[in-house]
Structure 1
């Protein structure tokens, strides 16, 4: 069986097969460019980081037994300010929430991994799955948005 703790750790800050992990990409971003939209109608790097943070927080809530919902920050929260200090706060929030989730799932038992997330299946919200499917989905989510961030870093 795949070790999902290890896979999440890789997607977040490890040696990924698909390219750079999401944290290294975020840390490579120029703080003066992260709030810009170099691709019309696309999200900025800062917006992507906020989105990733919001959904990681929501996954923590679900693992802890709360009913599945849209993240409390919203699906696509917007930066409060567009400053270098705000950027560093966003990066730190992303780092802290991922490290919290990794610590949390490190202690899951086999029965915990197969426990269902509360709610009926809703593909858009990622509900109606067990905890292993939930974490696997977050790993895919991190990889997907890491690709977007990598593309935006080229501008």
Structure 2
């Protein structure tokens, strides 16, 4: 039986592309961020929305690799792989980045759907001190955390650019 696995898939889906109780999902929020602010930051030391999306992709890919049995897969926190330097200068680049995020999320769904039962969730992630259930719940929390950052960046930049016509009022 896959009761817990199906619940994790449902929660991931709701957070990523659904209608969570707290507001917009990740993809709904990103669909409302114009590409022209995707590479901008509020302050020079902060990450852009595009960099946050790259960071989400990196962790989703890491999780999918670990779930697929990769023993040599690592993602060092605060490394260039963890926080890729991504600049988006066209609508096409922005759309491609979002497609890459969707593909990374979809690979996790595919792996979870292949599981025969919930026992997979209790298996320890190779090289880590947590199991796959904790990893997957952590990905949900990670999405929500960075969704808040994206919303904050969007609202700050929106205030700066409302007169430029980028945002409709």
TM-score interval for Structure 1 and Structure 2 normalised by the shorter chain: 0.7 to 0.9
1:135 aligns with 136
Q: 1:54 to 1:34 in 2, by over 3 A?
A: same
Q: Which runs of 5+ in 2 are unaligned?
A: 158-169
1:99 aligns with 106
Contact 1:54–1:73 (CA under 8 A) maintained in structure 2: no
TM-score (norm 2): 0.80
Q: Which runs of 5+ in 1 are unaligned?
A: 120-126
Q: Where does structure 1 differ by over 4 angstroms across 4 or more consecutive aligned residues?
A: none
Contact 1:11–1:22 (CA under 8 A) maintained in structure 2: yes
TM-score (norm 1): 0.87
- Counterparts of residues 4-23 of structure 1 (less than 5 Å): 4-23=8-27
Contact 1:22–1:146 (CA under 8 A) maintained in structure 2: yes
Give the C-alpha shift of residue 96 in structure 1. 1.3
Q: Does 1:113 align with 2:121?
A: yes
Contact 1:38–1:152 (CA under 8 A) maintained in structure 2: yes
Tell me the C-alpha RMSD between the 2 structures.
Answer: 1.9
What per-residue deviation string (whole Å, max 9, x for no partner) do you get for residues 42-84 of structure 1? 1100000010011100000011111251079710011265333
Give the C-alpha shift of residue 136 in structure 1. 0.2
- Counterparts of residues 4-153 of structure 1 (less than 5 Å): 4-67=8-71, 68-70=73-75, 74-79=81-86, 82-108=89-115, 109-119=117-127, 127-153=128-154
Task: Report the count of equivalent residues.
Answer: 148
Contact 1:117–1:129 (CA under 8 A) maintained in structure 2: yes
Contact 1:12–1:23 (CA under 8 A) maintained in structure 2: yes
Q: 1:73 to 1:110 in 2, by over 3 A?
A: farther
Alpha-carbon distance in 1 for matches of 2:88, 2:144: 26
Give the C-alpha shift of residue 85 in structure 1. 2.0
